[in-house]
Structure 1
């Protein structure tokens, strides 16, 4: 890490680069044999669900049903390294605060419950009985509205259901989760437009589609198993159109590591047939341009007697607001569309032409679409585009938001939400005999605001690295220490454990890959994939320590220590047999989880019923709604940009998953040995007077206060003019807390106005 190296990488996604990366991490985590054996059970029938992304598990699994990042996640969790009481006896919290994210997690799995001791500035061992009793006493002494219950998105359906019930029985809906930081615009936008808050496609739809379109989603680093569906599509000559600021290798070329021929010949499949480098926040304008071109082509077809371009029968029967949307599109000027999107009219029309010829289209998107001030409107613009040709509720067609954490979508399905209208409160009242709170709870941004104001007194975290994931990192870390209580349920040490409140506890939990033995025997758990399918998962290796406990057990013990006894709930019975939790889930959501226990390991998963897939629209209008955006700019209300400002995009390397950093290499972008990087367009560098390899500081161009990150190395990269990019979570301090989507409050991390300043700071890892 002391000598970073930048050199172009010409290889494809997958291929030998992926194989070498997998070998390296298995050796580094000291599990070359056991780790390789475990991977053969990943995403397999009666095996365990990947602990990384939420991409679907197919009915017919491949021999190696895992990707590079999924394998890294398994190796990272099942490392032979241990982080026990001896480690904490040797290191103070103050010392550990100077360690990197990578160094902290690389210490290995947590093995014992720990309590922060302010006198020694160390975490010290504590018994489970003492820890849960002390936490319960603190929670009982606090006003319920002052406590936040965060969920990271990896916990099972069973744990998430218990956790949400615990919070509501305690007295609040303060249930923010990782969706608040990534796909909340999906939940808000799709619900208003088509009546469901999730995507509408299933895995089989990829086999029937004749066009795939990507918007702001980097498949090579974020969901590499999807590359198999993309390669199959290209072999069928299905075009793939990509809108993304950076040219990402997974959307360019892919060599299948499972193909002996491809590995031997180094053959690579071309993925994108059109690649449009839309500028940050330019998606609304680009999609508007496509819609404008389609509407114009439809009018021309009518005039000359050719078949219509728009699906008129679908629009008339199933949609609302079409005329107003057409008027909006026709009123847009092409020069304005080009300026706002960063694309030429001919490029936008080329994409529209291919779309007009396709019969069944899937629109795939990620956080490049959602993490803007108008992220919800960007999602709804994609819906508008799909509605024009009836590409919702049709085989081979639909909307495909690609989720991150492996059960982030599922935990919402079972009640992890701050919005009381999205939880079945009346059913819970009857089922468990208590009065659920009806007041809206805190989402992630509101929880942060509450910590800054002092209204939030305690934070309970079910997984994740919250302090590192949120915006405005420096301000939030300063405020965090004023909390009275912090509780973290975790597998590995991270920075959130070190920015602790007055009383702080680390509660080590089993990983999903480990055998979970309870009173009735080994337990299975369940998750929901990005394609709204429920899958079972069984642990396949022994627990890392006798001192760890399962997440359901931990939630149950906290609930028992905090709440008054309730004759309608036996937390101990639920922990003894997770099947009884699934029975309770089915009782709460009978239409969604019918016979989940009996179908838990059904090949391909159990499909969640979605009205929009059947062209039933559970919206206020009773139809799918065309939604007119307020303007073309996805980030319109930031301070006026100066001539020196750029829009910063935060992104992952291919050696990380969210805040978990597996290493300091970003193979696809040619970066080795550092994460202190700022990718810039060569013309912007020349215009602003900087050179490749120069060390700079980056400051947010916002009026309220100075936010900066120092010591970044400039790297020339193929990125649109006016944009620059770098890695999160390192650049999260640059995001003002108030810079979020207007409707969902998701942090707008994909367009942060910044200025670049010269720096004397050294480059570091």
Structure 2
């Protein structure tokens, strides 16, 4: 289905507006700190203040009066809650009892306040000292083979902490450094690196003022990066078309009322965001992009025959690219019938998008996990590049690929060495700088680490933030294996399921939030992170710490390092007390990116990392930007032929969610209240399956390995989405994803296209 105007039945209002204001106010009151948090929010994403702990969208040099969005305000309220989890909480609840709690209730219990160790005799976490925790963790690590230990990192860790953490792991003797990028945008890192020589996007905020067309593929700006709506609104006001490809009509990509605009808040007006909205089938993006490219190349062929102006940028293609002839031959030969079947879009819709593209001089292509979390996720990213290369839309103002990262520093931690791939880390430089021999063999990505936990190769998991047990696929296989680990260590601000599914020895180490004031030896400290556009920003906490027993992440990493490693050239203690020293070390390791790091830390709008592709310098194997001939337009060519009743499940986040953190069970944008155990289905599929809206069903994965994966208790909700596709929430649907069902080359779990079938019906009920 492809329309530009039909509204979803779930939410008839624009995103933003009074709905957003009400949601923020409700979150502040719910966390029992409305006045304190309101004062804190004034400093969010501001120079001299703190960077949002949620999304990594760019921070402008000249911020708005309120430079936070609804999602960011909820994340801040969640961290600055007045609720506390003191040692007495664990004295009142066994770990087995807490396992029965809902994920939302675990985190809502409040901020962790003291270091805790699991006690097997009582099945409780009991308070310990930092010295004892570091000492025992060090003893356990020294007794293990380094390659049996996994050092996982969530995207919230600062550049300083991430640099220390990767150095600890490599000095210990392993490259097992999986991170949250393995779960989401690794397909971007692989695809862009292959195609244009850099694994990140090439646009900046300035490009929004110079572009004359934007595409969106598989990214829900309204809940994942709402501050971006300011830039989209400004672009629309000057007439820039925005063309969206997404299975669901997300309100944030339909229309927007700016809460900071009195004229919009006090009148019925709203800004239309998408000028074309095409509801592509989940997994149909490569086919849709192929259709646009086919229209462009065929128009160029006609222009040559008729003696008209060329449509493609011939000079750019000849000077800067390779592989064009093979790609052009592919799209000329592929039939429209195949494109329509694979994308679920009519030829006319793709021609309409191509017409806009051919008129535009500078084009940005934004994309998110709707493109990357597929078996063909890397190919999807390469197809974005193919589209842009056709008309020279990389390396000029107002144009380029724009991957939208959903985690606050997930891109930055890769920049400073968090990677399992030795080829992406400056090992020779680290060896010279710190006088040790780093391991040279490839480590484990997240999927590899999970397989290692299941087969026993992994004996310990260190988690620097995150909730890995809950976020990974195949949870029903992962959890029993996780309990057999020798050691689990979790650095966290709040309680989550990963702390309850533990090893024989387990520590829970509470840390300061980025929002909180961090003072070391009487001197205020600041940290830094990288945003989605490759800009580095300083961040300084402004809220009082939740407890005087908390340590900053840097001190925790340093404490473990000093207890684990033989004496080294690193003065871990000095680093933990003065983060400027860590930045000096980062600058020495990465001089091209971080030279004069401390002097540039507070640059308005951040300082930008060098991106050779912006200057049309291609650090690829060929030395040119590379077109790719797609392997297949079928999202999962490895799967056997499925039954006609099989469906394609894609996972979603709600408007009250950040990754595995669930703020509320409601999703106002989709009309869901009080539950997350729902399946969104096209009315035609509901009828074809012989079921009814409101019915209770189970879903079973269709997987080649024959293992039974089933989740019960879903309620059917009739919804506007392509036939053959159904939607369900992450992480509730994770048990349906086999570990083997991941993107080729990047190993990102293919959570946006999971073959499933309905296997059971129950009595009718109400959603």
Q: Output the TM-score relative to the length of structure 1.
A: 0.98
Q: Which residue of 1 aligns with 2:424?
A: 422
Superposed displacement of residue 176, structure 1 = 0.1
Give the direction of change, closer, same or farther, for the CA distance of 1:272–1:138 in structure 2 (3 Å limit).
Answer: same
Q: Which residue of 1 aligns with 2:245?
A: 243
Whether the aligned pair in 2 keeps the contact of 1:711 and 1:762 (CA below 8 Å) is no
Aligned residue among 35, 39, 47 for 1:45: 47
Map 1:127-142 to 2 at 5 A: 127-142=129-144
Give yes or no for the alignment of 1:620 onto 2:645: no
Q: Which residue of 1 aligns with 2:630?
A: 629
Superposed displacement of residue 760, structure 1 = 3.6
Supply the distance in 2 between the matched residues of 1:470 and 1:61 (Cα, whole angstroms): 36
Q: Which residue of 1 aligns with 2:595?
A: 594
Supply the distance in 2 between the matched residues of 1:641 and 1:422 (Cα, whole angstroms): 39
Supply the distance in 2 between the matched residues of 1:753 and 1:686 (Cα, whole angstroms): 19
Supply the distance in 2 between the matched residues of 1:193 and 1:630 (Cα, whole angstroms): 15
> For each residue in 1:648-700, what CA deviation from the matched residue of structure 2 results, as whole angstroms up to 9, or x when unmatched?
00010011011100001111111111111100000000111111111111111
Supply the distance in 2 between the matched residues of 1:437 and 1:762 (Cα, whole angstroms): 58
The more displaced of 456-465 and 571-580 is 571-580
Structure 1 segments of 4 or more deviating over 2 A?
6-9, 757-765
Count of aligned pairs: 759
Q: Which residue of 2 aligns with 1:642?
A: 643
Q: Which residue of 2 aligns with 1:538?
A: 540
Whether the aligned pair in 2 keeps the contact of 1:252 and 1:270 (CA below 8 Å) is yes
Whether the aligned pair in 2 keeps the contact of 1:711 and 1:763 (CA below 8 Å) is no
Superposed displacement of residue 306, structure 1 = 1.8
Supply the distance in 1 between the matched residues of 2:254 and 2:639 (Cα, whole angstroms): 33
Aligned residue among 698, 714, 717 for 2:716: 714
Map 1:467-546 to 2 at 5 A: 467-519=469-521, 521-546=523-548
> For each residue in 1:194-247, what CA deviation from the matched residue of structure 2 results, as whole angstroms up to 9, or x when unmatched?
000000001111111100100000000111111111111110110000011111
Whether the aligned pair in 2 keeps the contact of 1:409 and 1:530 (CA below 8 Å) is yes
Superposed displacement of residue 602, structure 1 = 0.7
CA RMSD after TM alignment: 1.2
> For each residue in 1:168-209, what CA deviation from the matched residue of structure 2 results, as whole angstroms up to 9, or x when unmatched?
000000000000000000000000000000000011111111
Q: Which residue of 2 aligns with 1:202?
A: 204
Tell me, what secondary structure is at the counterpart of 1:399? strand
Q: Which residue of 2 aligns with 1:683?
A: 684
> For each residue in 1:312-352, what CA deviation from the matched residue of structure 2 results, as whole angstroms up to 9, or x when unmatched?
10000000111111111111011011101110111111101
Q: Which residue of 1 aligns with 2:727?
A: 725
Supply the distance in 2 between the matched residues of 1:572 and 1:7 (Cα, whole angstroms): 57
Tell me, what secondary structure is at the counterpart of 2:34? coil
Supply the distance in 2 between the matched residues of 1:215 and 1:536 (Cα, whole angstroms): 30
Q: Which residue of 2 aligns with 1:369?
A: 371
Give yes or no for the alignment of 1:162 onto 2:148: no
Unpaired runs of 5+ residues, structure 2, are: 1-7
Supply the distance in 1 between the matched residues of 2:188 and 2:153 (Cα, whole angstroms): 18
Tell me, what secondary structure is at the counterpart of 2:357? helix
Unpaired runs of 5+ residues, structure 1, are: 1-5
Q: Which residue of 1 aligns with 2:269?
A: 267
Tell me, what secondary structure is at the counterpart of 2:131? helix
Q: Which residue of 2 aligns with 1:330?
A: 332
Supply the distance in 1 between the matched residues of 2:689 and 2:145 (Cα, whole angstroms): 52
> For each residue in 1:627-663, what CA deviation from the matched residue of structure 2 results, as whole angstroms up to 9, or x when unmatched?
1111111222123211111000001001101110000
Whether the aligned pair in 1 keeps the contact of 2:214 and 2:363 (CA below 8 Å) is yes
Whether the aligned pair in 1 keeps the contact of 2:162 and 2:413 (CA below 8 Å) is yes
Give yes or no for the alignment of 1:278 onto 2:283: no
Q: Which residue of 2 aligns with 1:751?
A: 753
Q: Which residue of 2 aligns with 1:252?
A: 254
Superposed displacement of residue 54, structure 1 = 0.3
Whether the aligned pair in 2 keeps the contact of 1:674 and 1:764 (CA below 8 Å) is no
Give the direction of change, closer, same or farther, for the CA distance of 1:209–1:289 in structure 2 (3 Å limit).
Answer: same
Supply the distance in 2 between the matched residues of 1:362 and 1:346 (Cα, whole angstroms): 22
Q: Which residue of 2 aligns with 1:662?
A: 663
Supply the distance in 2 between the matched residues of 1:91 and 1:763 (Cα, whole angstroms): 34
Superposed displacement of residue 7, structure 1 = 7.8
Q: Output the TM-score relative to the length of structure 2.
A: 0.98
> For each residue in 1:539-597, what CA deviation from the matched residue of structure 2 results, as whole angstroms up to 9, or x when unmatched?
0011110111000000000000000011x210111112100100000000000101110
Whether the aligned pair in 1 keeps the contact of 2:420 and 2:442 (CA below 8 Å) is yes
Tell me, what secondary structure is at the counterpart of 2:714? strand
Superposed displacement of residue 305, structure 1 = 2.0
> For each residue in 1:29-68, what CA deviation from the matched residue of structure 2 results, as whole angstroms up to 9, or x when unmatched?
0111011111110000101000000001000100110000
Whether the aligned pair in 2 keeps the contact of 1:648 and 1:752 (CA below 8 Å) is yes
> For each residue in 1:431-462, what CA deviation from the matched residue of structure 2 results, as whole angstroms up to 9, or x when unmatched?
00000000000000000010011000000000
